[in-house]
Structure 1
Amino acid sequence: MPKRQLGRNGPEVSAIGLGCMGMSEFYGSGSEEESIATIHHAIERGVTFLDTADMYGVGKNEELVGRAIRDRRDQVFLATKFGNVRGPQGEFLGVKGDPEYVRSACEASLKRLGVETIDLYYQHRVDPNVPIEDTVGEMARLKEEGKVRFLGLSEAAPHTIRKAHETHPISAVQTELSLWSRDAEAEVLPTVRELGIGYVAYSPLGRGFLTGQIKSPDDFPDDDFRRFHPRFTGENFAKNIALVREVEAMAREKGCTTAQLALAWVLAQGEDVVPIPGTKHVRYLDENIGALEVRLTDEDLQRLDAILPPGAAAGERYHERGMETVNL
């Protein structure tokens, strides 16, 4: 498994990570046994960069990941996040970034994960009511105490990233990046490159849309949040599936799967970009790893740019409330 460095002075991680969110929530039900088997298989194949968050499954995802790595903690680079507050029934209660909350969230995550140190600790969403310097200042104190090793931000705007980085070096910024979510190319990627911060791409397969597996909105189970996602409903679905058909045709010509082509495009955006495709199935994990073997020429990249230029996807990447919490 090739490695990539997160930022100028950051850690080395596997070139592809594993997003664990869907193992506990959002993408329909799954088997905990298969999810843990998928994490174990990932580690065996060298995919050692694991991504979770305290909000996924209202803490249950961290507990699952903790069980999976209990006897192999030294083999993984573990990332988790704080900031999205949820109630006991899973209700969303907003975003918090005050120092007291940062500390309490970290302590709770350490306990659920069953570890002494979190390798990469992200602020999941920026709290507009708390100066970023206060949030990152407390994160830095947690680092001094050995509770976290590296600091990260998720869905932060360039001006926020700069202020945070001045407070304490930020090792990674995570935002959405895929062939149909290319907003980061305009300002976020240039900013992190200027500052020497690594970039982690979540949803690199467009929440599964770029795998070619989704044929109709009816494919989603009742408890799958994509049933209500702007890009997966109504006219937007029809427009977006037409674009995916073109990517599918190109993948056939390249002799790879649609998912591998889409993931190869993300990998080709730079050696400082680390995608973290999520899956709870071993077979899809292996397929994702296969993207590392797909070589894209300049002509291939130009063709993909023509099929899915920035802004081509129909619909926002989150519902209205979700869009209010990104790029702050």
Structure 2
Amino acid sequence: MKSRNLGAGLGSVSAIGLGCMGMSEFYGPADKAQSLATLEYAIEKGITFFDTADTYGLGRNEKLLSSFLARHREQITLATKFGIVRDGPLADRRIDNTATYMANACEASLKRLGIETIDLYYAHRLNPDVPVEETVGAMAELVKQGKVRGLGLSEVSPETLRRAHAIHPIAAVQSEYSLWTRDPEDGMLQTCKELGVAFVPYSPLGRGFLTGKIRSVDDMVVDDFRRTSQPRFQGENLQKNLSVVDALTRFADSKGCTPAQLALAWVLAQGDHVIPIPGTRTERYIDENISAGSLSLTAEEISALDEIVPKGAVIGERYTSEGMRHVNI
């Protein structure tokens, strides 16, 4: 496994990390034993960067990771997040960036994870009514207290990143990015590189769509959140978007790889400061994702992929209108 650097002096991590969200919620029933086996397999194969959040499974995802962390703490760079407060169903949520809430959330995460220090602590979403300078200033206090090593932001604009970075060095920005979500190309990738901030794409496989395994709504279990919270996976949008993955699959076939490997290799090719965190619950896909790290793309192939899946080609927003209100703040 190759390595890449986080910003703000956090050091190197595996060039491909592991997003753990789906192990506890969102994509159907969770299997704790299988998830723990996948975590062990991931670190055995050289993955050292693991991502969770306090809202995933309402804390269950952090608890899941606790025993795994206890066995491998020195090898792992662990990222978690605060700010999305859920009092019930997924749709019933609010954003809280206040210093008091943040301090309590940090303590709760540390307890669930069973660790003394969080390596990378993200503001999961920003409340536009709270200046980012105030939020990052409060986060910096956690660094001073030794509870957090580095700070991150999620789904922010380049301007917000610059303002935050002026208050305290930002180690990473996490946003959705893939061949079918190209928003970070509107300045964020460039700004991160300029400031020495790592860019961490979540859902680099288009929430699984770019694998080619989703052909209809019936390919997702009943409680899969993509069926209700992801317009791209619904109705006519899904059917129209199949042309994108079909073209990607044909390209992958000609190159002798899977469409997932091709899509992940494309993300990795966008800069050596880019550290994607594809999620999976099975060992099989750990191997597939890692193999993408050694898949070389020529400049001509990258250009061809840009033509196959041009920016704006995907039909439907990536979140509902409510969800879209809290991105690119």
* Normalised-by-shorter TM-score class: over 0.9
Distance 2:170 2:84 in 1: 20
1:160 corresponds to: 160
Matches within 5 A, 1:290-301: 290-301=291-302
Q: Measure, in 2, the Cα distance between the counterparts of 1:79 and 1:142.
A: 14
Corresponding residue number in structure 1 for 2:274: 273
Q: Is the 8 A contact 1:178 1:206 kept in 2?
A: yes
CA distance in 2, matches of 1:93, 1:26: 15
Runs of 4+ residues deviating >4 angstroms: 88-91
- Please say if residues 98 and 135 of structure 1, whose CA atoms lie closer than 8 Å, have aligned partners that are also in contact: yes
Rounded to whole Å, the distance in 1 between the matches of 2:52 and 2:303 is 33
Aligned to 1:5: 5
Q: Equivalent residue of 2:4, what SS?
A: strand
5+ residue gaps, structure 2, are none
Secondary structure, counterpart of 2:204 in structure 1:
coil
> Please, what TM-score do these two structures have when normalized by structure 2?
0.97
Matched, 1:324 2:325: yes
**More deviation, 256-265/191-200:** 191-200
Root mean square deviation of aligned Cα: 1.2
Distance 1:215 1:91 in 2: 26
Deviations 1:40-98 (A, max 9, x none): 11111110100000000000001001122221111110000000001156663310101
Question: C-alpha displacement at 1:123, in angstroms?
Answer: 0.2
1:30 maps to what in 2?
A: 30
Segments of 5+ residues of structure 1 without an aligned counterpart are none
Change (3 A) 1:227 1:17: same
The number of equivalent residue pairs is 328
Matching residue of 2:187: 187
Q: TM-score, normalised by structure 1?
A: 0.98
Distance 1:17 1:264 in 2: 13
User: Corresponding residue for 2:283?
Assistant: 282
Alignment partner, residue 141 of structure 1: 141
Q: How does 1:90-239 map to 2 (within 5 A)?
A: 92-228=92-228, 229-239=230-240
Superposed CA offset, 1:211-266 (max 9, x none): 11112111111110111220011111111111100100111111111100000000
Query: Residue 217 of structure 2 aligns to which amino acid in structure 1?
Result: P
For 2:240, what is the secondary structure of its paired residue? helix
Report the AA paired with residue 181 of structure 2: S
Distance 1:192 1:90 in 2: 31
Deviations 1:6-38 (A, max 9, x none): 237442110000000000011111311010110
Does structure 1 retain, via aligned residues, the 8 Å contact 2:121–2:152?
yes
Which residue of structure 1 aligns with residue 42 of structure 2?
42
Q: 1:222 to 1:43 in 2, by over 3 A?
A: same
d(CA) in 2 for partners of 1:169 and 1:69? 26
Distance 1:230 1:130 in 2: 29
Could you say which residue in structure 2 is the equivalent of 1:85?
85
Q: Is the 8 A contact 2:6 2:12 kept in 1?
A: yes
**Matched residue SS, 1:81:** strand
Change (3 A) 1:311 1:32: same
Return the alpha-carbon distance in structure 2 between the equivalents of residues 41 and 322 of structure 1: 33
Q: Give yes or no for contact 1:263–1:291 (8 Å, CA) kept in 2.
A: yes
Shift, 1:311, TM fit: 1.2
CA shift, 1:309, in A, is 1.2
**Distance in 1 of aligned mates of 2:20 and 2:214:** 20
1:57 match: 57
Structure 1 residue 147: deviation in Å?
Answer: 0.5
Cα distance between partner residues in 2 of 1:88 and 1:221 = 21
